[in-house]
Structure 1
Amino acid sequence: MARQIGRPARLLVGLGSGNPEASVQAQGLRPDVVDAYLVGVGPDAWPTWSSPAGSYVNLVAERADRQGAVPMLTLYQMASNGDGNLAGIADATFMAGYWANVRLMFQRLAMFDKPVLVNVEPDFWGYVERQAPDGDPARMPARVSIDADCAGQPDNVTGIAGCVLQMARKYAPKAAIGFPPSDWGAGTPAEVAAFALKAGLQHGDFLVMQTLDRDAGCFEVRAAECSRAGTGWYWDDAAYAAHLALARNWHDATGLPLVWWQTPLGVPASTPGGTDHWRDNRMQYFLTRPQDLVAVGGLGVVFGAGAAGQTTIDTDGGQYKRLSEAYLAAPAPLP
């Protein structure tokens, strides 16, 4: 698939939101992928962020293209009513706006007319798995066929994945579509994989993997933006091995290549927390053992943050530059 999106046949490495283009250029970085969010449904949603409506898609796509990277758009519209609030999917007004935005995104990507990755609704699939009767997305009603481009799709959550793919193939055939299951959606990796198949996520082009949406150290000190309960934020070898096992399970179940997204940029440290940057060791694991990711079905890994105040390439002490350049000097080939 790397060749299909215009990249070399090796594990791809990219950057997400919060890493300014000026800093990428100043450091002489060469990301394969550059990610940006498209957020919301309604009067303040992403189509209003530039003029004409929806041209923000082209601005961020062209920004990635200037860096020699493939754009990655993260569609994050389902959270408009609040994190975990899925009432909108059965609301005709909300879903009419939702589908209009999806169509506009693909129409704008058709104007860009180059390969792009689209990451469809992080967290949403995990909440569906938790809230659908018996974890069955076909038993959770959703307004899908109200849109002409969704004709023939079922009016439940399985139709949501189906309609996104139907629109993508119609309007922007150069777009590769990825869905992100959530490992917290069920008790075991096998259960999450089974849900993904029920939801039709295997019909996409890749699967989106996540590790942690903020740096481990931020959770360790319970900073305001990292107040989630839990332990074991900072990986050891056992946690790393467990994550690889999860990835292999999902890859084997769906047959899809994996793209890790929003992976923290924190720097390893012996002391919990952090000062000018937070500690984390996911980048250290991934970029010093890239063959491990390829072995479980990996296509690429994108480093970024899910909240403000996290480590970036401006505050990581040069870790991303050092590790990414070392990796690119001896890359992990894809099969």
Structure 2
Amino acid sequence: MFFRHWKATAWMGLLSLWALSSTACQPGLSPDEGNFEEEGLSATAPAELVSCTGVPAWNASTIYNPGDRVVYQGSLYEALVAIWTADPVWGTASGWYKLVGACSGTGTDAGTDGGTDGGTDGGTQGDTKAPTQVTGLRSTGVTTTQVSLAWNAATDDTGVTGYLVFRNGTQVGTTASLAYTDGVLSPSTQYGYTVKARDAAGNVSVASATLSVTTAQDTNPNGSWHPSYVALGTVYEPFTGTDGFFTKVNPLFPAGKRLDYGYLYLNGGSQISEWHSRAVRLATKSKEQGMTPIFVVYGIGGNTDSPAAVWANLQSTSFLTQYFQGLRDVGQTATSIMGTGRVGYVIEPDTLGYVQQQYAAQYGGDPAQMPAATNAAYDSGVLQRGVDPSFPNTLTGLVQSINYALRKHTPKAFLGWQLNLWAAPGAPGTGIMHSTEVYGFEAGKTRIQDNARANAGFALKAGVKYGGAEFISIDKYGLDGAGAAGANPNDPASSIWFWNADLWNNYLLFVRTLKDTLSLPVVLWQIPAGHINGTSRRSPTAYNASGVFPNLDNSVQRYEESASPYFFGDTLTLSGNRLAYFSKNVWNDPKVSVSGSTVTWGSHMQEAANAGVVAILMGAGVGVSTRGIPQPGASPEAVPTDGYYWITRVQDYYAGPVNLP
């Protein structure tokens, strides 16, 4: 049995495997594939290491090409020692390798079946000959965000069934044709492409020669920070689990399409020391996946959820000195990795909300009268007195200085401050979205609009638009609706955050009012990723062999949520309180219909676009949330906790994204 993290137990694993393989090429000596699954490894990993004698020697450089069959002359022990010597973290960078004790050229497969394959399935299991190398790789079209490729057909004794496309060494797509379009790239950026051919037996050719292609220059950089459609993004904590996740799901995206954004938190306090490494990880991995990185700067709270901590840190020169130095380093680090590619910032969730809620009244609701240690921007050396603008020691001055510093040290930045649903007064105890339930439909809508204007008005006085900020951001809540605030999934009408379509329509009314008041587009952030049980949506069998999405059991990291069904659309079979609640349609929404126990919500992406939404960033906001993509701490580490529902809906959406007005 191999080990998931074999770096830590390498020599024990090497010795045990050596005992299995000291006599090379004996059929049946390979580890059982079931053991791989038990250890969280793939039984059909992207490459094979074959330990044999009397065959060509292993070329050390090819072990790192996923998809290659690698042959080593000598015992398996010697092969593993060679790999360990060449790269001590082998397995974490490029995926796991299937280990089989088999001889090349014997016409047998010495896997778990003892080498008897090659009969009833037409012999493909006995086929060990890879297709010829792909030649003629060329670019047939380049834009600022897309590269179109074409190549000559490879040949094979049993026939080529498909081609694997790699960008900068990472597989980004699979196609049966001789062409592929890779999209969601950064302007003026060089990418290296290779293509491999695969036959019916799973044999993969060596990689083609690398083709270097540079995307076109962005001729309108200030007006093209987002795509022309409602874009999607995900919380993205890069680690080996997300590498494995994207390797699995990328081939199921429509050709040339990927998630637009990946976002990562920069928490304050002692965690400011981690900002540099997090900037490196997010920028590197986002670029690798064709996404634009967005940093959620969550620093002023000092990694607490305390209004008092926010207020104290706003007036602490020592705290803000470290904060500004961290912002400068993140901007410079991400820019050095992204080159001319863009870098986004969602700035300070909850900060303006706590200040408005707890402290604004004693200063007449005027951020320009509220104290803040803006001088730290200059004391830190991030801004220069007499050279950069002179920002006052007020909340407005601090907000403006943060915008200015991010732009100064991230030349291709796009940014926006995050506002809160709960910051302004006037909401019922259950929250502003429930106003239509408490005050009546029309009066409730008016209260929602007034509340949004109060939020937007305070933000405007605080200087959030300074320097030409590109957007304003609003969240929902970090935890899925069925898990938040003691929700009862069987009685969702009693919950605060498990919303039906009426409450989501209230939410878009709030969003539209923000957009109209601030004259800025809106980025929805931290939108949860669970789904409602009872979905009739079929799962790709690549994700769930049954073709059915598993029900979420409403335990930690497996909670139901209604955001994805609302925005992407869904048809649900429900009963009892759940049927009554999710059938409600006080808004007379034409995209909500009910037939017996079946409730259908049509996609509301167009309604989101009409409300001013240009991007929806989804994902777990707190550790117990349901994960649409893996995050550290989930098990198995490469598997999302929602049964692949969210990523399936994303892939469906990208087949025909909704254009912006």
| Number of the residue aligned with 1:321 | 647
Give distance in 2, aligned partners of 1:249 and 1:273: 36
The answer to whether the Cα contact below 8 Å between 1:202 and 1:255 also exists between their aligned partners in 2 is no
- 2:554 counterpart residue number: 274
C-alpha distance after superposition, 1:79-108 (max 9, x if no partner): 117322221111221121121112222222
Matching residue's letter, 1:108: T
Judging changes above 3 Å, is the alpha-carbon distance between structure 1 residues 220 and 158 closer, same or farther for their aligned structure 2 residues? closer
1:189 to 1:46, Cα distance in 2 relative to 1, 3 A: same
What secondary structure, in the 3-state scheme, does the structure 2 residue paired with 1:117 have?
Answer: strand
Q: Secondary structure at the match of 1:201?
A: coil
Would the aligned equivalents of 1:129 and 1:135 in 2 still touch at CA under 8 Å? Answer: yes
Cα 1:98–1:279, aligned 2, differ >3 Å: closer, same or farther? same
Aligned-partner SS, 2:484 = helix
User: Is the 8 Å Cα contact of residues 221 and 273 (structure 1) preserved in structure 2?
Assistant: no
Distance (Å, rounded) in 2 between the aligned partners of 1:264 and 1:71: 19
User: 2 CA distance for matches of 1:322 and 1:88?
Assistant: 42
Distance 2:654 2:320 in 1: 43
Distance in 2 between the 1:273 and 1:87 partners?
41
Q: Structure 1 pair 138/273, CA: closer, same or farther in 2 (3 Å)?
A: farther
In 2, Cα distance between equivalents of 1:258 and 1:90: 29
- C-alpha change, 1:165 and 1:24, in structure 2 (3 Å) is same
Query: 1-side partners of 2:485 and 2:354: how far apart?
Result: 25
| Paired residues for 1:212-291 under 5 Å | 212-219=477-484, 221=486, 231-269=495-533, 274-275=554-555, 277-287=558-568, 288-291=603-606
Structure ranking higher in helix proportion? 1
Q: Secondary structure at the match of 2:374?
A: coil
The 5 A counterparts of 1:135-214 are 135-148=365-378, 149=383, 151-187=389-425, 188-203=451-466, 204-214=469-479
Contact kept, 8 Å, 2:501 with 2:566, in 1: the verdict is no
* C-alpha separation in 2, matches of 1:267 and 1:142: 42
1:156-197: CA deviation from partner (whole Å, max 9, x where unpaired): 111122111211222212010111011211021111111111
Partner of 1:34: 262
In 1: Cα distance, 2:527 partner to 2:480 partner: 9
1:58-88 alpha-carbon deviations (Å, 9 max, x no partner): 2211111111111011111111173222211
Which secondary structure state, in structure 2, belongs to the residue aligned with residue 27 of structure 1? helix
- Shift in alpha-carbon separation, 1:48–1:81, aligned structure 2, 3 A: closer
* Percent identity of equivalent pairs: 26
SS at match of 1:122: coil
Higher relative contact order (CA 8 A, sep 6+): 1
The offset of 1:146, in angstroms, is 3.5
Counterpart position of 1:125: 352
Specify the alignment match of 1:303 in structure 2.
618
Question: How far apart in 2 are the matches of 1:289 and 1:68?
Answer: 26
State how far apart, in whole Å, the 2-side matches of 1:146 and 1:18 are. Answer: 30
Which of 621, 627, 636 matches 1:312? 627
SS in structure 2 of the partner of residue 302 of structure 1? strand
**Letter paired with 1:142:** A
* Aligned residue in 2 for 1:226: none
Equivalent residues of 1:40, 1:76 under 8 A apart: yes
User: What's the offset of the Cα at 1:22?
Assistant: 2.5
Q: Deviations over 1:240-285 (max 9, x none)?
A: 1110110001101111111111110111137997147101111211
Q: Is the 8 A contact 1:18 1:305 kept in 2?
A: no
In structure 2, do the counterparts of structure 1 residues 170 and 2 end up closer, same or farther at CA, with 3 Å as the change threshold?
Answer: closer
- The aligned amino acid for 2:297 is L
Structure 1 stretch 127-136 or stretch 287-296: which is displaced more? 127-136
| Contact 1:217–1:278 (Cα < 8 Å) also in 2 | yes
Residue 79 of structure 1: SS of its match in structure 2?
Answer: coil
Distance 1:116 1:153, change over 3 A: same
2:237 and 2:284 map into 1 onto residues whose CA distance is 17
Q: Is the 8 A contact 1:182 1:192 kept in 2?
A: yes
Q: Partners in 2 of 1:16 and 1:109 — Cα distance?
A: 17
- State the one-letter code of the partner of 1:45: Q
Q: How many residues align?
A: 322
Is the Cα–Cα contact under 8 Å of residues 260 and 290 in structure 2 kept in the other structure? yes
1:81/1:218 Cα in 2 relative to 1: closer, same or farther (>3 Å)?
closer
**2:323 matches 1:108:** no
CA distance in 2, matches of 1:272, 1:326: 21
Between the aligned partners of 1:36 and 1:333, the Cα distance in structure 2 is 26
The alignment status of 1:87 with 2:87, answered yes or no, reads no
Unaligned runs of 5+ in 2: 1-220, 426-450, 489-493, 535-550, 569-602, 629-639
* Uncovered stretches (5+) of structure 1, i.e. residues with no partner: 224-229
Residues 334, 87 of structure 1: alpha-carbon distance in 2 compared, 3 angstrom cutoff: same
* Residue identity in the other structure for 1:12: A
CA separation of 1:147 and 1:220: change in aligned 2, threshold 3 A: closer
Contact 1:265 1:283 in 2 (8 A): yes
Q: Deviations over 1:130-158 (max 9, x none)?
A: 21223322222001134321751111111
Q: Is the 8 A contact 2:367 2:396 kept in 1?
A: yes
Structure 1 residue 302: Cα displacement:
1.0
Provide the rounded CA distance (Å) in 2 between the counterparts of 1:325 and 1:211: 23
1:266·1:316 contact (CA, 8 Å) conserved in 2?
Answer: yes
Decide which structure has greater strand share: 2
| Contact kept in structure 1, 2:487 and 2:498, CA below 8 Å | no
- Alpha carbons 1:76, 1:121 under 8 Å: kept: yes
Query: For the residues of structure 2 that align with 1:177 and 1:55, how far apart are their CA atoms?
Result: 21
